[in-house]
Amino acid sequence: MNNQDLNSKSLNRRFPPGFLWGTATASYQIEGAVKADGRGPSIWDTYSHTPGAVWNGDTGDVACDHYHRVDEDLDLLAELGVGAYRFSVAWPRIQPTGKGPANQVGLDFYRRLVDGLRSRNIEPTLTLYHWDLPQQLEDEGGWCVRDTAERFAEYVDLVARSLGSDVERWITLNEPWCSSWVGYGIGRHAPGIQDIGMAAAANHHLLLAHGMALPILRAAVPSAKVGITLNLGDHQPGSEHELDVAAARRADGNLNRLFLEPVFHGQYPQDMLAHYATSKPGFSVVQDGDLELISQPLDFLGVNYYFPSTVVDASRAKEARVAGYRVALTEQFPDLHLRSLETPGRDRTAMDWEIEASGLTTLLVRIRDEYTTVPIYITENGAAFDDYVDPNGHVLDFNRVAYLQEHISAVHDAIDAGVNVQGYFVWSLLDNFEWSYGYSRRFGIVWVDFPSGTRLTKESFRWYRDTIQSNTVEYATSIGST
């Protein structure tokens, strides 16, 4: 064995036996068939059909037509060799108006998916809510009203009793921060409302829905492993100046602590309660007993991580420019009084998100230190790039391979540091409807030709298949590191 072989061997990092490899998708982003078999409209149907809301006027009407191509997609998963597949159930397929008895044909679709997974030895990981709220419930107040949490609990009961122990892992909510703060705060997601007080109320009612669903899931499926998926980030201050440190803390409060604190510590962070005290209805909707429900024990935490963030206080934009940063001109939440910085030298994805995998390690270590030691699954991680099919008919997405390698290596760093990470899911199996970006951003390890629906595996698919097979990843530092 020559030196080079030795070096590359020592750089191969093995994951613990049983580490769970998977990919993730979400119902509205891939299923299409929005009117099939009694499905009712969701807030994303309404929003995507609102002129100007989504890039190019794109909608999820057809998407990847997964609803009709489910067997083909199951075969792709088998070819990839994943141990688990994370998908979401479209609430309006099960209850077209968000209440009342189950639409059996809707349940049948997910039964077929779950059976198809099991017959291929792939563990179903089911997200109960990935943003497609039945429109009827939005018309009655959506996540700003308490009633929606109660409706959610009823819906969960229907799904849990139907699919039961055939589903390995249950995720109550996907990224409640996006549902509340992007949907009701800045209006860049459905239902497209811009009201900070409503966003804060939605924040609470989503977590309440999670809390109400837990005993129902546990009763219906005693063997169920239950968790929640949060999109979390690592916010660094642009300098050590106390104003910048405080700005990073506010950003952290809004994105991370407003969710981690109630779920794991049974309380909302005091600084955030004070910050939103004048936004009505805001957190005044919290009732006695809610936080006990929200903080019931979980079997795992799902973490979605995409990019790090560096911020300064809004008053210190000039100093940040002098220090060499590019400074965002506007901010999505003016009330937080901060400015996001672009770190010089860092690469970015087609979403314009900075690439810095070490942020994931930092985040995971912090979750363990400050919040919980329950098993963690990375339930989403991945990147959009400007992929294309080359003249030879290949999609050679080496930039995505590099991104995945760096981030999987960062997960390994966290495991080395003693964090209990038990699995990793690539976002996403398929190119799909990327919310307000429509079909302009491709996250898949499988190329989808819209709208013919033809699938073509990318280079990253082959790379991930090999990674899964060997249960190792080559050591990598972030290409974006400075």
Residue 425 contacts residue 411 (beta carbons within 8 Å): no
Interface residue with ligand FCB, options 103, 172, 174, 409 (CB under 6 A): 174
* d(C-alpha 81, C-alpha 411), whole Å: 20
Choose between 207 and 216: whose C-beta lies nearer to ligand FCB: 207
Of the candidate spans 13-21, 149-157, 173-181, 269-277, the one that interacts with ligand FCB by CB under 6 A turns out to be 173-181
Q: Which of residues 254-313 bind ligand FCB (CB under 6 A)?
A: 304
Residue 230 to residues 200, 261, 374, 413, Cα–Cα distance (Å): 16, 12, 14, 21
Of the two residues 171 and 196, which places its CB atom closer to ligand FCB in the complex? 171
Stretch that binds ligand FCB, among 30-38, 170-178, 334-342, 358-366 (CB under 6 A): 170-178
Neighbours of 245 (CB within 10 A): 15
- Using CB under 6 A as the binding rule, the residues of this chain from 29 to 48 that contact ligand FCB are 29
**Per-residue interface string for the shown chain with ligand FCB, residues 83-122, x marking contact by CB under 6 A:** ----------------------------------------
Under rule CB under 6 A, residue 175 binds ligand FCB: yes
Q: How many residues bind ligand FCB (CB under 6 A)?
A: 12
138 or 175: whose CB is closer to ligand FCB?
Answer: 175
CB of 366 to ligand FCB, least distance (A): 20
Q: How far is the CB of 93 from ligand FCB (least distance, A)?
A: 17
Q: Given candidates 30, 117, 156, 178, which one binds ligand FCB under the rule CB under 6 A?
A: 178
Least separation in angstroms between residue 3's CB and ligand FCB is 41
User: Any contact of residue 427 with ligand FCB (CB under 6 A)?
Assistant: yes
Does residue 464 touch ligand FCB according to CB under 6 A?
no
Burial class of residue 335, CB neighbours in 10 A (0-12, 13-18, 19+):
middle
Closest CA to 450 of 458, 439, 459: 439
Minimum distance, C-beta of residue 427 to ligand FCB, in the bound complex (Å)? 5
**Binding to ligand FCB, residues 202-241 (CB under 6 A):** 231
Part in contact with ligand FCB (CB under 6 A); list of ranges 32-40, 171-179, 407-415, 457-465: 171-179
Q: Which is nearer to ligand FCB, 26 or 473 (CB)?
A: 26
CA 187 – CA 190 distance, rounded (Å): 7
Question: At closest approach, how far in Å is the CB of 44 from ligand FCB?
Answer: 11
Is residue 435 near ligand FCB by the rule CB under 6 A? yes
Of 162 and 174, the one with the shorter C-beta distance to ligand FCB is: 174
Residues designated catalytic: 175, 380
Q: Is residue 58 within the footprint of ligand FCB (CB under 6 A)?
A: no
Q: Which is nearer to ligand FCB, 155 or 435 (CB)?
A: 435
Residue closer to ligand FCB by CB (options 244, 380) is 380
Q: How far apart are CA 311 and CA 323, in angstroms?
A: 13
DSSP 161-199: HHHGGG-SEEEEEE-HHIIIIIIIII-SSTT----HHHH
DSSP-derived 3-state class of residue 209: helix
380 binds ligand FCB (CB under 6 A): yes
**Half-sphere exposure of residue 262, counting CA atoms within 13 Å on the CB side?**
29
Give the strand pairing for 300-304 and 225-231: parallel
Q: How many residues does the chain have?
A: 482
Cα–Cα distance list, 265 to 8, 201, 277, 372 (Å): 43, 19, 20, 9
C-alpha 273/C-alpha 282 separation (Å) is: 9
Contact of 177 with 231, CB cutoff 8 Å? yes
| Residue number, 137 or 384, with CB nearest to ligand FCB | 384
Phi and psi angles of residue 409, each rounded to the nearest 5 degrees, phi first: -65, -35
- Torsional sign, CA 265, 266, 272, 274: negative
For the bound state, the minimum distance from the C-beta of residue 135 to ligand FCB, rounded and expressed in Å, comes to 19
Q: How far is the CB of 196 from ligand FCB (least distance, A)?
A: 20
Count Cα atoms within 13 angstroms, Cβ side, for 15.
24
Binding interface with ligand FCB (CB under 6 A): 26, 29, 174-175, 178, 231, 304, 380, 427, 434-435, 443
